[in-house]
C-alpha cells in the first residue's frame, strides 16, 4: 500500500491510503471499502487518520453549492479565536445525519478503539485570511457540558485554494506534534482523538480561501 503524505511536514507525516477511499459516504448510503486494521495502526501512532474522499463526488458538489449560497455569521470562541459559522445550519445539519450512520460509526470505533459512539454533531465554519481567524490550542472540552465528545472530525468543504490553516495535534503542553495536517482536498476528512492528554489548534489562513470545513465530534452514548 502506498503511503501518501497528506501533511505539510514529512516528519509528522500522516500516512493515508493513496487513492484508496477507506469509506465512501453518499446521499443515501455508506460503503466500507477498507477494513479497520491498517487505519488503526495509523491512529495508534498519530492519534488521527485521514479518510480520503469521504464524500461521494455528487454529494460533495451539492454540499459545496449549498455552502456557496448559505449564510455565515462571525463566531468568537472565547479566548481561542474567531471564524465564521454557517447560520442557519443547513449543510451542517445534513452532514450530521449522513455522518451518523451506523456503518461509519462502527468502522470508526474499530479504527480508534472507542466504544458506543452514538452520532456526529458539528457545524460548517470558515476561517478567513484576515489576520484574525484562527483557533489557539484547546481540547474541545470547554463547551462540552455533557463530556460526551470522544473524537473530532473535520471534512474539507473549501472551494478556493488557500495558504496556511494547518491543523496541529500534540500532547498537552509539549512540542511533540502527533499530527500536522493540511486540508487540501475537498470531500476528504480528518478524524482525530480527543482526550485529556491531547490538544489541537488551527493556524491562521495566510492567503486565499476561505478555509471551509465541517467540524464536529463523535459523541458517546450517555450511560443514563
Ligand atoms: O478546523 C479545524 O481543523 C478544527 C476546528 C476545531 O478544532 C474545532 O472546531 O474545535
Ligand atoms: Fe477543536
Q: What is the ipTM of this complex?
A: 0.99
Residue 7 domain-assigned? no
- Return the percentage of the chain with pLDDT > 90, whole number: 82
Averaged pLDDT, 91-97? 98
**pLDDT classification of 222: cutoffs 50, 70, 90:** confident
- Ligand 1 pocket test, candidate residues 77, 167, 209, most atoms within 8 A of CB: 167
Q: Which of 105, 108, 107 is nearest to 119 (CA)?
A: 105
Assess contact for 151 and 114: CB atoms under 8 A. Answer: yes
- Ligand 1 pocket test, candidate residues 14, 76, 127, 154, most atoms within 8 A of CB: 154
Averaged pLDDT, 61-77? 96
**pLDDT classification of 78: cutoffs 50, 70, 90:** confident
How many angstroms is it from 193 CA to the middle of ligand 1? 12
Q: Tell which atom from ligand 1 comes closest to the C-alpha of 213.
A: 1
CATH number, position 110: 2.60.120.620
Alpha helices in the chain (DSSP H): 37-46, 57-69, 91-98, 102-112
How many angstroms is it from 154 CA to the middle of ligand 1? 7
Beta bridge partners of 177: 170
- Starting from the CA of residue 213, give the closest ligand: 1
Measure CA of the first residue to CA of the last residue in the chain; give whole Å. 43
Averaged pLDDT, 45-52? 95
pLDDT at 144: 83
Assess contact for 120 and 216: CB atoms under 8 A. Answer: yes
Residue 204 in 3-state DSSP? coil
What does the mean pLDDT of the chain come to? 90
Residue 163 belongs to domain spanning: 20-220
Residue 69 domain-assigned? yes
- ∠ CA 191-197-203 to the nearest 5 degrees? 55
Task: Give Cα 142 to chain centroid, integer Å.
Answer: 18
Q: Which of 91, 120, 111, 99 is nearest to 26 (CA)?
A: 99
Looking up cell 480520503 gives 52
Per DSSP, 12 falls in state: G
**pLDDT classification of 19: cutoffs 50, 70, 90:** low
Assess contact for 195 and 217: CB atoms under 8 A. Answer: no
Residue 67 domain-assigned? yes
Assess contact for 149 and 116: CB atoms under 8 A. Answer: no
Residue 44 domain-assigned? yes
- Starting from the CA of residue 85, give the closest ligand: 1
Cell, residue 211? 478555509
Q: State how far the Cα of 143 lies from the Cα of 176, in Å rounded to an integer.
A: 25
Residue 182 domain-assigned? yes
Residue 176 domain-assigned? yes
Size of the chain in residues? 224
Residue 2 domain-assigned? no
What domain count does the chain have? 1
Residue 46 domain-assigned? yes
How many angstroms is it from 140 CA to the middle of ligand 2? 5
Amino acid at each position: 500500500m502506498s503511503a501518501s503524505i497528506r501533511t505539510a511536514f514529512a516528519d509528522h507525516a500522516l500516512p493515508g491510503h493513496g487513492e484508496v477511499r477507506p469509506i465512501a459516504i453518499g446521499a443515501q448510503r455508506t460503503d466500507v471499502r477498507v477494513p479497520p486494521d491498517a487505519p488503526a495502526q495509523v491512529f495508534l501512532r498519530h492519534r488521527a487518520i485521514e479518510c480520503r474522499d469521504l464524500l461521494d463526488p455528487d454529494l460533495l458538489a451539492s454540499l459545496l453549492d449549498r455552502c456557496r449560497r448559505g449564510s455565515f455569521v462571525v463566531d468568537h470562541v472565547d479566548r481561542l479565536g474567531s471564524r465564521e459559522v454557517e447560520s442557519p445550519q443547513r449543510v451542517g445539519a445534513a452532514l450530521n445525519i449522513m455522518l451518523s450512520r451506523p456503518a461509519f460509526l462502527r468502522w470508526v470505533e474499530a479504527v480508534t478503539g472507542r466504544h458506543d459512539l452514538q452520532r456526529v454533531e458539528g457545524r460548517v465554519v470558515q476561517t478567513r485570511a484576515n489576520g484574525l481567524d484562527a483557533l489557539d490550542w484547546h481540547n474541545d472540552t470547554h463547551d462540552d457540558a455533557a463530556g460526551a465528545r470522544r473524537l473530532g472530525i473535520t471534512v474539507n468543504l473549501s472551494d478556493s485554494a488557500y495558504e496556511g490553516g494547518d491543523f496541529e495535534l500534540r500532547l498537552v503542553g509539549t512540542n511533540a506534534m502527533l499530527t500536522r495536517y493540511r486540508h487540501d482536498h475537498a470531500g476528504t476528512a480528518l478524524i482525530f482523538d480527543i482526550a485529556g492528554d491531547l490538544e489541537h489548534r488551527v493556524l491562521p489562513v495566510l492567503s486565499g480561501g476561505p478555509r471551509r470545513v465541517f467540524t464536529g465530534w463523535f459523541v458517546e452514548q450517555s450511560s443514563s
